[in-house]
Chains A and B, each alone.
Chain A
Amino acid sequence: MIKYALRRLLSTIPVLWIAVTACFFVLRLAPGGPFDGERPLPPVILKNLAVHYNLDKPLIQQYLIYVGDLLRGDLGPSFASEDFSVAQQIMIGLPYTFTIGTAAFLIAIIVGVAVGCLGALYQNKTPDYILGALILVGVVLPNFLIAPILQLIFGIHLAWFPVGGWGDGSIKYLILPIVVLALPHAGRISRITRGSMIEVMNQNFIRTAKAKGIGPRLTVMRHALKPALMPVVSYLGPAASYLLTGSLVVESIFGLPGIGRYFVNAALNRDYGMVLGTVIFYMVLIVFLNLLVDIAYAWLDPKVRNR
């Protein structure tokens, strides 16, 4: 298993290198530079800035300097935030994104699996329809629409939770963003669980269990849940990376200091170092999460383990 994990990790190095190289050159080819803006700078200032950030050197030399720094573990400076390097900014934002993302991830799994199981057990009955409709709302409505609605209801009218901000990090600040972030994934997980569970419940070994007189709850918990979760586990890798990387809208609407917003802001600002830094960070994260999913898959399915 360890050998397999190591092999997987090593195989990502060339992928990472290609991605960094492509990203480096595509960024430089994009029109508009880091210092273009509403206030154009005089040529002398632009020259000083170019020298300061090595932008005056030939592109290939800039690339070699970047890769050299990267190999030494230096993600370089950020043009848009001079007091913090790219690595420092990622490290500052990570705990916030991680807290929200992990909580949303766990809630999405718990709620999604529970709702999916109930839907399967009450297939085509009233609870299934009600839960299905509720879940559909979560899946269909984008979070930039749900977030303001929840802010309006629970933040302004009922004043139960703060409308935004991290505050002191207490739970009352986190509930709304976590709910908004978790909702679509809970929905998708419940749909996957429901479908998978219905399929498993129609299989022979479940019929045998039922014939032995085991109650429906025990049948589900002891026999059906584990195989029914296989497709859910496949979904968890992308879901986890999405929750940790795709929280841009939620972080932006709730004014949270996570890293989700870095990538788009950096791309728009032509903050080359920051874009590359976040690309590298996300790629490493996605590789790691997919590896975890593979391990979980192997644990759930002996056939995979022995392969």
Chain B
Amino acid sequence: MNQFTKKFLASAMFGTLLAFSAHAATLNIHNGGDPQSLDPQKLSGDWENRIAGDIFEGLVTEDAKDNPVPGQAESWTISPDGKVYTFKLRDGIKWSDGQPVTAGDFVFAFQRLVDPKNAAEYAYLQFTIKNAEKINKGEITDLNQLGVKAIDDKTLEITLENATPYFINALMHYTAYPLPKHVVEAKGQDWVKIGNIVTNGPYKPTEWVPGSHVTTVKNDQWYGAKDLKIDGAKFFVLEDQEAALKRYRAGEFDIMTDFPTDQYEWMKKNLPGQAHVAPFLASYYYVLNAQKPPFNDKRVRQALSMAVNREVIGPQILGTQEPPAYSWVPPGTANYGEPAYVSWKDLPYKDKVEEAKKLLKEAGFGPDHPLKAQLRYNTNDNHKRVAVAIASMWKPLGVQVELYNAETKVHYDEMQRGQVEIGRAGWIADYNDPDNFLNLLTTGVAMNYGRWSNPDYDKLIKEGNAETDIGKRAEIFKKAEQLALDDSAAIPLYYYVSKNVVSPKVEGFVDNIQDIHRTRWLSMKE
């Protein structure tokens, strides 16, 4: 072999090595907060969901557009009354240690979720399953009474309390992920520690430095591992968004999952096409204490709602184009179609203010007897900006607003105890269904901060949830929504938007309404 051939072969080998190393793509994701746990039954935040959904997989999972697609189950059937779901598990599904994933692992996970001893914060999301709530309340102590049964290793049967059309969507939630029974039983609480943890998703965690990052790598045991384009991800903890943007600009992050809103214009100009602002299944609203005068007067509530110029909040006050909200359920919600809107939605703003003045006058308020109200919000620049703007929008009505801000814990504690006249709140959907929003206004639920109560509304919601026909159910729900809007049960202000910054080298990132982007659907350009 002459010198030329040797050199040629050496460079070819080096080139091949380089090519291989370029394919070893790791995705660096700015993920915000520190995860509370890697145990899917101990989570509560979207930043934790990003990790959990990469390392675990439920019976049903989401595609790149967040539509439900078969996950660990290859198919399922639903009984005619809509109460019994029978899932057939895929062949050859395994945990990352090579052990098979069985229907028993799902039974074990659901039982553990609702067992009050484990105090899972999100257990209530699966209360649609037969006896789940009773077990969680301690009314039933036999976990085998839960409506989740393994017919055999490959067949799982779930029985619900009532027909629940959104149940398949709820199964995409991390509370429905299976757990490796053999590891949890062997290791106890420590099953979730790196070194012990066994997962069934496309990736498995290999490192967790609290306050810094969680690292995952491809799980070769996952049924679709050979098609994964990303070899692993690093989920970085960094709550300072300004600092995160700097790290993104320096190329240290490939994806940012939130960004400082005041940088949006700069990003549009300097990072063209990289800032993704998209509709998001979440609402920003004000509640009015419907138990307390004068907010128990529908005219007062409606006047305050009408006098808000929603069109300027997204574009001018927040700067990220949040769409104005005239409905309670955000548009684009599954199983629903177009939501109901307030009847005065299309009036010119001037006319809305005039009507609002009239309503307040009828309620006994005017320049001689101004309406005085305290507006509470939790400490945050955006909440403050919105509150200041709305207080000034109410000024022409003669409303005198006292702004009061408190840290999040205190704010929500006071809201729940009803110590509020007007208060800021927001809701991000847990599952894609109108029930998740409409439920917030039903009597007695913890999230009904304004304590607005209407038996007709409650009846309609109950009726809707018992209806198996999706079309009819949507009609019933729409009636309920209209009723709440006509009564100004609360003041919807805007629909949230998701805010991501995605490097041009990341491919396959599809904006979707729940802002869920699993690594398995992404790839990276060299």
Contacts and interface: CB of A to CB of B under 8 A. Distances in A.
A220 to B, nearest CB: 41
A53 B39 CA distance: 18
B209 A165 contact: no
Given A82-B36, A83-B193, A38 B412 contact: yes
Contacts of A36: 408-410, 412-413, 416
A51 B137 CA distance: 12
B412 A257 contact: no
B413 A81 contact: no
B192 A255 contact: no
Interface stretch (A149-157, A287-295, A298-306): A149-157
Contact of B409 (A82, A252, A269): A269
Nearest to A84: B210
A255 B413 contact: no
B378 to A, nearest CB: 8
A164 interface: yes
Given A31-B413, A84-B210, A165-B212, A38 B426 contact: yes
Nearest to A151: B246
B133 interface: yes
B17 interface: no
Interface string A72-97: 00000000111110000100110010
A83 B118 CA distance: 13
Given A31-B410, A31-B413, A164 B121 contact: no
Nearest to B193: A83
Interface string B193-225: 100000000000000111111000000000000
B238 interface: yes
Nearest to A152: B246
A48 interface: yes
B344 interface: no
B247 interface: yes
Chain B interface residue bracket vs A: 35 or more
A268 B409 contact: yes
Interface in A159-217: 159, 162-166
A37 B137 CA distance: 22
Interface string B426-448: 10000000000000000001110
Contacts of B239: 252
B412 A255 contact: no
Interface string B38-58: 110010100000000000000
Interface residues of A, number: 53
A174 B176 CA distance: 41
Given A164-B238, A256-B212, A268-B409, A39 B44 contact: yes
A48 B115 CA distance: 9
B262 interface: no
Nearest to A167: B252
A254 B243 contact: yes
Q: Give the interface centre of A39, A83, A256 by most chain B CB atoms within 10 Å.
A: A83
Given A41-B121, A45-B123, A166-B212, A82 B39 contact: yes
Interface of A: 31-33, 35-45, 47-49, 51-53, 80-84, 89, 92-93, 96, 147-148, 151-152, 155-156, 159, 162-166, 251-258, 261, 268-270
Interface of B: 34, 36-39, 42, 44, 116-121, 123-124, 133, 136-137, 192-193, 208-213, 236-240, 242-244, 246-247, 249-250, 252, 407-414, 416, 425-426, 445-447
3 pairs of A and B residues whose beta carbons are closest in the complex: A32-B409, A257-B211, A257-B212
